[in-house]
Amino acid sequence: MNRTRRTLTTAALCCAMLLGASSPAAAQPVEVQWWHAMGGALGERVDELVKNFNASQTKYVVVATNKGNYDEVINGTIAAYRAKRAPQIVQIYERGFMTMMLSEATMPVQDLLDQRGYKVAWGDFVKPVAGFYSYKGKLMTMPFNSSSPILWYNKSHFEKAGFAKPAETWQELEQQLYAIKQKGVSSCASVLAGDYHWSLFENYSAINDLPYATKANGYQGLDTEFVYNKTTVVSQVGRISKWIKDGVMEIAGQGLSPEQLFTSGKCSTFFASTAAHSSVERTAKFDWSATYLPWEQGKTPKNSTIGGASLWVMKGHKPQEYEAVAAFLDYLAKPETQLWWHKVTGYVPLTNKAYQLAKEEGYYKDHPTREIAIMQLNRGTPTANSTGFHFGNFTQTMMVQREEAEQVFAGKKEPQAAMDDAVKRSNEILRQYEKLNKGKY
Amino acid sequence: MSSAQAGLKRAHYKDARLPALLLLPQLVILLLFFFIPSLRALTQAFLLSDPFGNTVHFVGFDNFRQLFESANYHESMKVTVVFTLAQNVLTIFVAMVLAFASDRIIRGRGVYRAIILLPYAIAPVVAGILWAFLFNPSVGPIAHLLHGMGIAWDPNRIGSDAMLLVVLAASWKHVCYDYIFLLAGLLAIPSSLLEAAAVDGAGPLRRFFTVGLPLLGPTLFFLAVMNFVYGFFEIFAIIDAVTRGGPAGATNVLVFKVYVDGFINLDLGSSAAQSVVLMIFALFMTLLQFRYVERKVSYDV
């Protein structure tokens, strides 16, 4: 009995010593967790990206986990953070920028990399991308998957209706869409995208250089107030509503993705993200193309703004883990990584260098539509109206706006009354955010 | 419960430890999944807080005040009441017709019952997607049929169409539940009463309305309460799959609003306040059921 115990103790000690001795020698790589929202084909690309990074060096290992859609990822992160189990890196939608930045749970990415001596060409980021994710001239979060809405169209539908391509302005395009419908080319001239608020209201405002809210769209203070009820966003809501009522535009509804209605060849146009490239290229069996989003007659179009998500670095982890995070983010910022990501997904290249590389290798000769979003983002110099949107509780105000717009689509409210109500309700939500975060921005 | 029965039950356990041990798993589950979340919701309802919990202001009853002042919340309450009432009436009516009919079917009764019970075995999300698809104005076969008949059916745009759709989907899913109880209730009616009525010359319908229905009263009351509970608390998945509360909030019932405000809008204070209001309502329904239903419904059926 006694002897057995001694043997066991000795064995245990040996094991402990072995373990203790071996770990520094083998130099276990530092592991960091990355929660993302990229499912399906995009998820496979993320896995590939992480695999490439892990293979490129031996010190760090990034583990990427898909935690569902954007809403689920931010909720999962919040729950994990409260339980002190948050991952080091999380992918959060662009709308969550203010929520994340003022949460006191994240750290600025630019500082993190600069302090560790990484030479990232911050100034080289495409302006609307950097503009959206910056605060006081510094990137708070690492841009990752950025897109911008473009106008997808069915070439043969347009040709059959006697048009070479979609017109540049909303007014002329409207006539074309009505012609497509009336000539019987297609019963569905357009289909409303799931994120129509983004393409048809927010980007509409940026492109037409219309103020969305006071204080430079929220960039200059939490006391910002929405003003889109005083711009042509109101007539834009009326226009979309008219299209829907006249059967020119369809709403896909639940259980069916609007994209399918376009890629199946049923609907002639689709105002949606350039990120749809991967699926349109794969599924659309007809002659399709894409072009810039339209603008109002008589306007000089500005740049569009971005959507998508960025990578936030969470507080509360070990220093060596931040070394790993910094190395990974630096890897992401490299033009080669950017170029690869742009090509395999359909998201825009985030830096001008990556864009140049794609041009130099003639990528856009074979894929002309993939250049539209980046050219649209780079069009002119961004103004206060087209740099981006810095609103707290931005998802909530967006939901309010959609609800009011749908009242117009249903014929229950006039566009002006609906947008007035949307602004009134949303401003109350902004005040809540201001009250909570006073003095932090 | 009579004192004799109580004495009998107590006599089974000489020691308090065993029953406590047997109760433990249930109590732990209740603690983890009911009491702790409820307490957290209760405290959160009085706070204005950043979702990450780093900035928290105590705001007293502000969340509740804003809630009750919000036209949007009133609308959601109205929608919930309309939905629940419509679903309740439709479910009971259809279940009653089916139960009455199957009580009279002799051949293939088992098959008939099995078919009626099938929807209950289908996951609510699947049921929801099925209905959404069938009635989708772009691709749904039933929607095409309706369009062919000249009905401008569009649940994506017209609130009342969307409401009708979720009521149908929710009722279809719940009819079987009511059906089982009603069928059991009908079977429990003493045949002597029905035969006596038949001898007196009452037809099947007359027998049903004058003899069967009154005797089913307690069952119907119980089902009405259960349908209310279902309509208020258990239709999340169907709403999520069929309309996501839209269009323009036309089907944004209270439970769905709690979810949207909490998990999409990240407005935890308001979402918690809404949960507390719903919790109070649930308590009220439970009391109602204990007070009136438990006494009158005989489980011997």
Q: Which tens digits make up the pLDDT trace of A413-423?
A: 999 999 999 99
* CATH number of the domain to which B135 belongs: 1.10.3720.10
Return the percentage of chain A with pLDDT > 90, whole number.
87
* CATH number of the domain to which A102 belongs: 3.40.190.10
Residue A107: which region, alpha, beta or left (left: phi > 0; alpha: psi -120 to 50)?
Answer: beta
Examine residue B262 and state whether it is found in any structural domain, yes or no: yes
- End-to-end Cα, chain A, rounded Å: 69
Q: What is the mean pLDDT of chain A?
A: 91
pLDDT of residue B294: 63
Instruction: Please tell me whether residues B254 and B211 are part of one structural domain.
Output: yes
Examine residue A8 and state whether it is found in any structural domain, yes or no: no
- Residue A368 DSSP code: G
Instruction: Please tell me whether residues A210 and A345 are part of one structural domain.
Output: no
CA-based nearest residue in chain B for residue A252: B138
Examine residue B84 and state whether it is found in any structural domain, yes or no: yes
Please report, for residues A63, A342, A350, B79, B94, the alpha-carbon distance to residue A47 in angstroms, rounded to integers and kept in the order given: 9, 15, 20, 44, 51
Residue B178 has φ and ψ, to the nearest 5°, of -65, -35
On whether the CB atoms of residues A298 and A317 are closer than 8 A, the answer is no
How many domains does chain B fold into? 2
Task: Tell me the mean pLDDT in the region A120-130.
Answer: 92
- Is 60 exceeded by the pLDDT of residue A14? no
pLDDT of residue A13: 45
Chain A residues lying within 8 Å of B249, measured CB to CB: 403, 406
Instruction: Please tell me whether residues A120 and A208 are part of one structural domain.
Output: no
Instruction: Please tell me whether residues B201 and B270 are part of one structural domain.
Output: yes
Inter-chain residue contact B50 with A244, CB threshold 8 Å: no
How many domains does chain A fold into? 2
Task: Quick: pLDDT tens for B84-129.
Answer: 999 999 999 999 998 888 877 777 778 888 888 888 888 889 999 9
Instruction: Please tell me whether residues A430 and A312 are part of one structural domain.
Output: no
What is the least distance, in Å, from the CA of A60 to any CA of chain B? 28
Examine residue B23 and state whether it is found in any structural domain, yes or no: yes
Instruction: Please tell me whether residues A313 and A278 are part of one structural domain.
Output: no
pLDDT of residue A16: 45
Examine residue B50 and state whether it is found in any structural domain, yes or no: no
Chain B residues lying within 8 Å of A403, measured CB to CB: 246, 248-249
Instruction: Please tell me whether residues B165 and B37 are part of one structural domain.
Output: no
Query: Residue B3 CB: number of other CB atoms within 10 A?
Result: 7
**Which has the higher per-residue pLDDT, A147 or B201?**
A147
What is the least distance, in Å, from the CA of A333 to any CA of chain B? 28
Q: How far, in Å, CA of B74 to CA of A243, rounded?
A: 31
> How many residues are there in chain B?
301
Chain B residues lying within 8 Å of A90, measured CB to CB: none
pLDDT of residue A85: 93
The letter for the amino acid at B222 is: F
Examine residue B113 and state whether it is found in any structural domain, yes or no: yes
Element spanning A103, H or E: none
Instruction: Please tell me whether residues B127 and B95 are part of one structural domain.
Output: yes
Q: Tell me which residue in A99, A251, A403 faces B157 most closely, judged by beta carbons.
A: A251
Instruction: Please tell me whether residues B71 and B188 are part of one structural domain.
Output: yes
Task: Tell me the residue range of the domain where A360 lies.
Answer: 29-147+307-368
Q: How far, in Å, CA of B78 to CA of B197, rounded?
A: 44
Instruction: Please tell me whether residues A292 and A414 are part of one structural domain.
Output: yes
Bridge partners, residue B49, by sequence:
B56
pTM of the model: 0.87
Task: Tell me the mean pLDDT in the region A340-348.
Answer: 92
pLDDT of residue B205: 81
CA-based nearest residue in chain B for residue A396: B265
pLDDT of residue B212: 81
Q: How far, in Å, CA of A133 to CA of A142, rounded?
A: 8
Whether A409 and chain B come into contact, CB under 8 Å, resolves to yes
Instruction: Please tell me whether residues B82 and B22 are part of one structural domain.
Output: no
Instruction: Please tell me whether residues A288 and A312 are part of one structural domain.
Output: no
- Is 70 exceeded by the pLDDT of residue B9? no
Bridge partners, residue A289, by sequence:
A153
Instruction: Please tell me whether residues B259 and B159 are part of one structural domain.
Output: yes
Task: Quick: pLDDT tens for A269-298.
Answer: 999 999 999 889 989 999 999 999 999 999
Inter-chain residue contact A254 with B244, CB threshold 8 Å: yes
Instruction: Please tell me whether residues A115 and A153 are part of one structural domain.
Output: no
pLDDT of residue A125: 94
Instruction: Please tell me whether residues B21 and B107 are part of one structural domain.
Output: no
Q: How far, in Å, CA of A112 to CA of A132, rounded?
A: 19
Closest to B169 in 3D by CA, of B141, B217, B135, B200 = B135
pLDDT of residue A95: 95
Q: How far, in Å, CA of A210 to CA of B96, rounded?
A: 59
Instruction: Please tell me whether residues A122 and A45 are part of one structural domain.
Output: yes
pLDDT of residue B290: 80
Examine residue B81 and state whether it is found in any structural domain, yes or no: yes
Whether A81 and chain B come into contact, CB under 8 Å, resolves to yes
Q: What is the mean pLDDT of chain B?
A: 87
Task: Tell me the mean pLDDT in the region A349-355.
Answer: 94
Examine residue A18 and state whether it is found in any structural domain, yes or no: no
Instruction: Please tell me whether residues A140 and A188 are part of one structural domain.
Output: no
Inter-chain residue contact B55 with A78, CB threshold 8 Å: no
Instruction: Please tell me whether residues A115 and A202 are part of one structural domain.
Output: no
Residue A33 has φ and ψ, to the nearest 5°, of -100, 140
Instruction: Please tell me whether residues A344 and A414 are part of one structural domain.
Output: no
Q: How far, in Å, CA of A64 to CA of A61, rounded?
A: 10
pLDDT band at A98 (very low <50, low <70, confident <90, very high): very high
- Is 60 exceeded by the pLDDT of residue A21? no
| Minimum mean pLDDT range among A21-25, B31-35, B179-183 | A21-25
Instruction: Please tell me whether residues B106 and B25 are part of one structural domain.
Output: no
Examine residue A48 and state whether it is found in any structural domain, yes or no: yes
pLDDT of residue A419: 97
Q: Domain boundary residue among A335, A368, A401?
A: A368
Examine residue A378 and state whether it is found in any structural domain, yes or no: no
* Residues 6 or more apart in contact with residue A148 via CB below 8 angstroms: A128, A203, A273, A274, A304, A305, A306, A307, A348, A373, A374, A376, A377
Task: Quick: pLDDT tens for A166-175.
Answer: 999 999 999 9
pLDDT of residue A130: 93
Instruction: Please tell me whether residues B33 and B80 are part of one structural domain.
Output: no
Instruction: Please tell me whether residues A236 and A101 are part of one structural domain.
Output: no
Instruction: Please tell me whether residues B15 and B139 are part of one structural domain.
Output: no
Q: What is the CA radius of gyration of chain A?
A: 25
Q: Tell me which residue in A256, A393, A403 faces B138 most closely, judged by beta carbons.
A: A256
On whether the CB atoms of residues A208 and A294 are closer than 8 A, the answer is no
**Which has the higher per-residue pLDDT, B190 or B264?**
B264
Task: Quick: pLDDT tens for B188-230.
Answer: 888 888 888 888 888 888 887 888 888 888 888 889 988 988 9
Q: How far, in Å, CA of A81 to CA of A33, rounded?
A: 13
Examine residue A243 and state whether it is found in any structural domain, yes or no: yes
On whether the CB atoms of residues A146 and A307 are closer than 8 A, the answer is yes
ipTM for this model: 0.84
pLDDT band at A25 (very low <50, low <70, confident <90, very high): very low
On whether the CB atoms of residues A295 and A168 are closer than 8 A, the answer is yes
Instruction: Please tell me whether residues B78 and B40 are part of one structural domain.
Output: no
- Is 70 exceeded by the pLDDT of residue A59? yes
Task: Tell me the residue range of the domain where B222 lies.
Answer: 62-296
Examine residue A1 and state whether it is found in any structural domain, yes or no: no
Residue A70 has φ and ψ, to the nearest 5°, of -55, -45
Task: Tell me the mean pLDDT in the region A42-52.
Answer: 94
pLDDT band at B6 (very low <50, low <70, confident <90, very high): low
Inter-chain residue contact B55 with A437, CB threshold 8 Å: yes
Interface of B with A in 245-274 (CB under 8 A): 246-250, 260-261, 263-267
Closest to B255 in 3D by CA, of B121, B117, B125, B77 = B77
Inter-chain residue contact B159 with A253, CB threshold 8 Å: no
Inter-chain residue contact A102 with B50, CB threshold 8 Å: yes
* Residues 6 or more apart in contact with residue A420 via CB below 8 angstroms: A229
Q: How far, in Å, CA of B103 to CA of B116, rounded?
A: 13
CA-based nearest residue in chain A for residue B63: A432
Examine residue A326 and state whether it is found in any structural domain, yes or no: yes
